[in-house]
Amino acid sequence: MALGPLEPVEGVWAVGDARRPGGSWLEFREEGLFRQAPEGSELIAWSRIMLGIGVYIGRGYPRSGDFTLLGLASNMPGPFRGRGGGHLDMTLRHPYEDRKLTFTRHAHAYRIIDTFLLASLLSQLVEAGEAHRLGDPEWLSRVVGRLTPLSPWLTRNRLTQAVEQAWQV
């Protein structure tokens, strides 16, 4: 079970390929968002994250949506399949700073709807002051289980409402 780049790994949920040697990923732990990268690791307390979290697949920022051109190409069969990465984009408080936390993408494709649902879930939880719930792997498993069967044919508003219902149950 996965939601775009989010998947369970050894008892925690991680964004990015935590099994790739030399890669970087983000773990949702009880105490906060833990970033593991070749250049080092850091822990960001849930209470520091404000204004939502954006999820982007590919390098840089796309003109619209969650995928850059390379991010879309890495979903297709061929030489770019599974290459590159992505990042979570957020604003932190105390001290205030904008952060771009990168991750290595998995070799498999990410459905566009899954990436949208993940971004919507993260932002809704931050806005509601409930980001700490991401550190509960059992709770997050139930929420992801409610979101993965959603149809990509639902409107953006219906998907956003479905995300809200999934985590508030």
How confident is the model at residue 65, as a pLDDT? Answer: 55
Is the pLDDT confidence value at 79 over 60?
no
When mean pLDDT is compared over 11-25, 63-77, 98-112, 150-164, the highest value belongs to 11-25
Amino acid identity for residue 72 in this structure: L
What percent of the chain shows pLDDT beyond 90?
61
Q: Which of 58-67, 109-118, 121-130 has the lowest mean pLDDT?
A: 58-67
How confident is the model at residue 26, as a pLDDT? Answer: 97
How confident is the model at residue 58, as a pLDDT? Answer: 76
* pLDDT mean over 26-32: 97
Q: What does pTM read for this prediction?
A: 0.88
Residue with the bigger pLDDT between 4 and 68: it is: 4
How confident is the model at residue 63, as a pLDDT? Answer: 58
How confident is the model at residue 101, as a pLDDT? Answer: 94
Is the pLDDT confidence value at 62 over 80?
no
How confident is the model at residue 118, as a pLDDT? Answer: 94
